[in-house]
């Protein structure tokens, strides 16, 4: 297939583009490179050294003979440019990663909230609008988040997108109906993913677009089979308090002798998936498109759940490191359970990669190799959800200020 990978320069987008290219597809990356600009804004860099997208694709071609084409397009701002590109290339499938993906970044300031809403919602709507205008019958696969469900529990497993409910009629009868699972976003970022859901529901029903929405858990790991082919194909790896995902951050903290920072009680239960499984799930979704005119297909893209404090203890035992307990910058329940159904991907052949010491130690080895690139001042998570919470944030988990005073 000819596949457009929107946001293909990103943390999941890049290994997905490589995976699909290796499988024989004609891959076109559309990206505005905003994630690289955000690194500059935050004064931080990927732990792993990343070449330009042009150099990355050159190395891929040199190593494999396969070409990945790059197109510099801002989906949220350049609607006509996007529409013209789609009209010219008419891809068979579109994988949509082109959204600002960090909850903490979306909560930093009013400017960051505005940027996240404008970028994410406009990008999604521009794409859907253009597909309808061009009568483009491409299968759209969107990378969403488990966070659309929220992290509370009512003692039942979270279904895959739709909740069967009984509605009492005026005559006293009960009729059954499937509704979208009630949205419960925990940040501005998660809210934009909830808005995406509504856009998808409308365009699937109104215009017959074929859409698959993947509600993904937290991604951990760094390497995939394809990124190992050459050092310059390595994936980005975020360790900072805004973009670093929790398990990856613990592993990096252990590798550089930084305290493992657990916020609140650490009783938050999260869903997880390894980066290799993430790209496999996207390929599986592409191979199983919904029929035109059917409802949006929703998969829960995760393989296991863990409490944050349990992860910290696993890493501390494996790689060493002291656990420190800090105020939570997020507005969320101190403790929650999380039971999630992921039957669809398992039925379609996914063999899950679970947390194993070998894979965890591989990440520690990567972190130690590139430890010289770490700016320790960027490690703490300091983006607060409210002004009241901001006043309680610990900006100095290593206690450097106290040590300097003593």
Tell me which DSSP letter residue 340 carries: B
Question: Active site residue: 115, 149, 189, 243, which one?
Answer: 189
Which string of DSSP letters, residue by residue, matches 240-284? STTT--HHHHHHHHHHTT--EEEETTSB-EEEEEEHHHHHHHHHH
d(CA 339, CA 243): 25
Residues 259-275: b if buried by 16+ CB within 10 A, e if exposed: bbbbbbebebbbbbbbb
Question: Active site residue: 57, 79, 108, 193, which one?
Answer: 193
Told to judge if 145 belongs to the known catalytic residues of this protein, a careful annotator would answer yes
Told to judge if 369 belongs to the known catalytic residues of this protein, a careful annotator would answer no
Residue 323, H or E segment: strand 323-326
d(CA 110, CA 181): 29
Told to judge if 124 belongs to the known catalytic residues of this protein, a careful annotator would answer no
d(CA 106, CA 116): 6
Question: Active site residue: 57, 116, 145, 269, which one?
Answer: 145
7: tokens are: 């946001």
Q: Is 165 left (phi over 0), alpha (psi -120 to 50) or beta?
A: beta
Q: Can you tell me whether residue 170 is helix, strand or coil? A: coil
* Positions marked catalytic: 145, 189, 193
């Amino acid at each position: 297939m000819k596949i457009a990978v929107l946001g293909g320069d990103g943390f999941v987008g890049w290994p997905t583009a490589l995976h699909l290219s290796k499988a024989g597809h004609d891959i076109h990356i559309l990206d505005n490179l905003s994630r690289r600009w955000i690194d500059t804004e935050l004064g931080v860099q990927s732990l792993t050294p990343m070449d330009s997208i042009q150099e990355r694709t050159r190395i891929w071609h040199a190593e494999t003979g396969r070409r990945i084409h790059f197109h510099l397009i801002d989906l949220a701002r350049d609607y006509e440019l996007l529409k013209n590109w789609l009209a010219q290339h008419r891809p068979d499938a579109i994988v949509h990663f082109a959204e600002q993906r960090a909850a903490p970044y979306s909560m930093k300031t009013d400017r960051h909230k505005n940027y996240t809403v404008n970028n994410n919602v406009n990008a999604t709507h521009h794409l859907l609008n253009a597909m309808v205008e061009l009568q483009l019958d491409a299968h759209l696969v969107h990378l969403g988040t488990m966070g659309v469900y929220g992290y509370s529990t009512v003692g039942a497993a979270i279904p895959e997108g739709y909740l069967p409910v009984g509605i009492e009629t005026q005559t006293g009868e009960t009729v059954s109906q499937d509704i979208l699972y009630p949205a419960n976003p925990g940040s501005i970022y998660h809210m934009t993913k909830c808005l995406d859901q509504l856009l998808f529901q409308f365009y699937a029903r109104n215009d017959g677009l074929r859409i698959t929405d993947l509600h993904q858990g937290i991604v951990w790991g760094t390497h995939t089979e394809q990124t190992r082919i050459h050092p310059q194909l390595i994936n980005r790896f975020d360790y900072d308090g805004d973009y670093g995902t929790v398990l990856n951050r613990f592993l990096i903290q252990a590798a550089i002798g930084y305290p493992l920072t657990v916020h609140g009680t650490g009783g938050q239960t999260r869903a997880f998936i390894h980066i290799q499984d993430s790209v496999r799930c996207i390929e599986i979704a592409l191979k199983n498109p919904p029929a035109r005119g059917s409802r949006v297909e929703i998969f829960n893209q995760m393989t296991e759940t863990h409490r944050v404090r349990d992860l910290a203890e696993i890493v501390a035992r494996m790689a060493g490191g002291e656990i420190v307990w800090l105020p939570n910058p997020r507005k969320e329940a101190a403790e929650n359970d999380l039971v999630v159904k992921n039957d669809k991907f398992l039925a379609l052949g996914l063999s899950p990669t679970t947390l194993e010491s070998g894979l965890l130690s591989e990440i520690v080895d990567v972190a130690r190799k590139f430890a010289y690139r770490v700016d320790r001042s960027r490690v703490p998570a300091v983006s607060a959800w409210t002004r009241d919470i901001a006043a309680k944030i610990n900006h100095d988990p290593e206690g450097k200020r106290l040590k300097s005073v003593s």
